[in-house]
């Protein structure tokens, strides 16, 4: 059938310039090119007028991605290319070098179009898979990029083989001897691919995670995970790019489990002036019985003291004495437990740290149900505001280095 079509083209060309071989060839070539152009226009018309309305009316998303990535258009572009390949070389004699050259050019053009079509298909597959929630924890983009590298490597070898008229299989076999050079050239790609698999298989890193990697000055949200880079949008709106294998071979902190868990940890510290710590007598202790956070503790302690005194157990009486710092610590623990934005099901405590020359450190340790930065800092600030404001009611003083205001008071008092 192709032969009969080819003869028809030759007959049409002969009608214009009978007996003139050069002009006959020119008309034949122009005719084939015009047919290819018409074929291309018809394919585009069919896609835009017939196929596109059908795609837009369907409830599926994948066909929209195929159209948006021009997969169908790139596939249709092969039709005029095959027309050129089938009929254009026959414009010249079979033994003519022009015929061989035109045939090779057409083959290279077809290979390039096939690569373009397959690359568009891979991009469409990436967009389709990226929308699936169950695949958000997998390195889809890295896998697609790996396939693209393989695709273009095969395409490049095929084009070279076509140009030099050598079998691509023999060229691939010859690459074995230069494996060391290829590994050096594609070192980052190979390491990135392996690291991407490790990051995904071990559930170490996904798009949208908050990570901190001090060695790379990264502290922010992972925007993209590709074959060669992990892109992090830092909280100061700068971008940090890190090779995936650097994260695998080094260390980084992933805060995802904090967001998925029950709370975000708050650790705050105040310094008590040890000179303000003292025992409370029963009269001062009874003054706290009506406090709803520590009233029960005070009542139980007073009853225990009375029972020990009645039993004439002086050691237990001494042991049960209450300091204002103990009462303050119990108050804070109960306050933390009843805070609306703390998680009482997770560890919380108020503890003393080793005393130093700057006073007695008291640490507040809890988990906030608010995990976003601003809301989390608001919870921590509210806790510290209340702590600093209530401390005087227990007769305690905070320790801080003397400042200009302290020196001014000292001067006014003794001047």
Instruction: List, for residues 306-345, the tens digit of each pLDDT value.
Output: 998 888 888 988 888 999 999 999 999 999 999 989 999 9
Residue 49 to residues 41, 53, 230, 290, 403: CA-CA distances in angstroms?
Answer: 12, 7, 42, 82, 80
Instruction: List, for residues 95-117, the tens digit of each pLDDT value.
Output: 567 777 888 888 888 889 999 98
* DSSP letters for 297-364: HHHHHHHHHHHHHHTT-HHHHHHT-EEHHHHHHHHHHHHHHH-TTB-TTS--EEEEPPPBTTBEEEEE
The class level of CATH for 201-256 reads mainly beta
β partners of residue 366: 266
Residue in the block written with tokens 């001494």: 318
Q: Which residues in the chain come in under a pLDDT of 70?
A: 1-25, 27-28, 90-96, 133-139, 174-180, 182, 201, 403-407, 409-410, 415
CA separation for the pair 222, 134 (Å, rounded): 18
Summary mean pLDDT of the chain: 82
Q: What dihedral do alpha carbons 347, 348, 353, 358 form, nearest 10°?
A: 140
Note the pTM of the prediction, 2 decimals.
Answer: 0.61
Percent over 90 (pLDDT), the chain: 29
Domain ranges of the chain: 2-198, 201-256, 264-406
Instruction: List, for residues 163-204, the tens digit of each pLDDT value.
Output: 887 777 777 776 666 666 767 777 777 777 778 777 776 778
**What confidence score (pLDDT) does residue 395 get?**
92
């Amino acid at each position: 059938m192709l032969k009969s079509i080819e003869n028809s083209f030759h007959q049409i060309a002969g009608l214009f310039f009978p007996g003139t071989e050069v002009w006959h060839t020119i008309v034949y070539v122009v005719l084939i090119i015009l047919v290819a152009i018409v074929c291309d226009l018809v394919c585009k018309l069919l896609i835009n007028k017939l196929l596109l309305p059908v795609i837009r009316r369907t409830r599926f998303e994948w066909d929209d991605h195929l159209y948006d990535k021009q997969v169908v258009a790139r596939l249709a572009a092969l039709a005029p290319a095959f027309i050129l390949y089938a009929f254009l070389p026959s414009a010249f004699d079979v033994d003519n070098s022009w015929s061989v050259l035109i045939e090779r050019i057409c083959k290279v053009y077809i290979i390039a179009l096939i690569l373009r079509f397959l690359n568009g298909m891979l991009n469409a597959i990436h967009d389709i898979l990226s929308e699936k929630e169950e695949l958000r924890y997998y390195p889809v983009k890295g896998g697609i990029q790996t396939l693209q590298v393989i695709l273009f490597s095969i395409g490049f070898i095929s084009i070279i083989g076509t140009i030099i008229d050598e079998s691509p299989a023999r060229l691939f076999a010859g690459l074995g001897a230069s494996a060391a050079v290829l590994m050096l050239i594609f070192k980052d790609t190979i390491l990135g691919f392996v690291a991407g698999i490790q990051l995904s298989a071990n559930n170490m890193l996904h798009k949208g995670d908050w990570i901190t990697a001090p060695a790379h000055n990264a502290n922010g949200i992972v925007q993209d995970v590709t074959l060669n880079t992990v892109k992090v949008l830092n909280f100061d709106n700068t971008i940090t790019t890190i090779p995936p294998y650097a994260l695998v071979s080094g260390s980084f902190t992933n805060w995802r489990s904090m967001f998925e868990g029950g709370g975000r940890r708050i650790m705050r510290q105040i310094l008590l002036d040890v000179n303000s710590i003292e025992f409370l007598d029963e009269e001062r202790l009874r003054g706290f019985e009506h406090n709803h956070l520590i009233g029960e503790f005070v009542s139980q302690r007073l009853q225990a003291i009375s029972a020990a005194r009645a039993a004439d157990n002086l050691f237990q009486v001494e042991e049960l004495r209450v300091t204002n710092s103990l009462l303050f610590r119990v108050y804070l623990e109960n306050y933390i437990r009843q805070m609306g934005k703390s998680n009482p099901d997770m560890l919380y405590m108020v503890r003393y740290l080793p005393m130093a020359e700057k006073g007695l450190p008291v640490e507040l340790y809890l988990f906030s149900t608010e995990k976003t930065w601003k809301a989390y800092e608001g919870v921590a600030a509210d806790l510290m505001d209340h702590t600093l404001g209530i401390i005087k009611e227990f007769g305690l003083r905070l320790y801080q280095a003397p400042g200009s205001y302290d020196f001014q008071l000292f001067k006014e008092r003794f001047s």
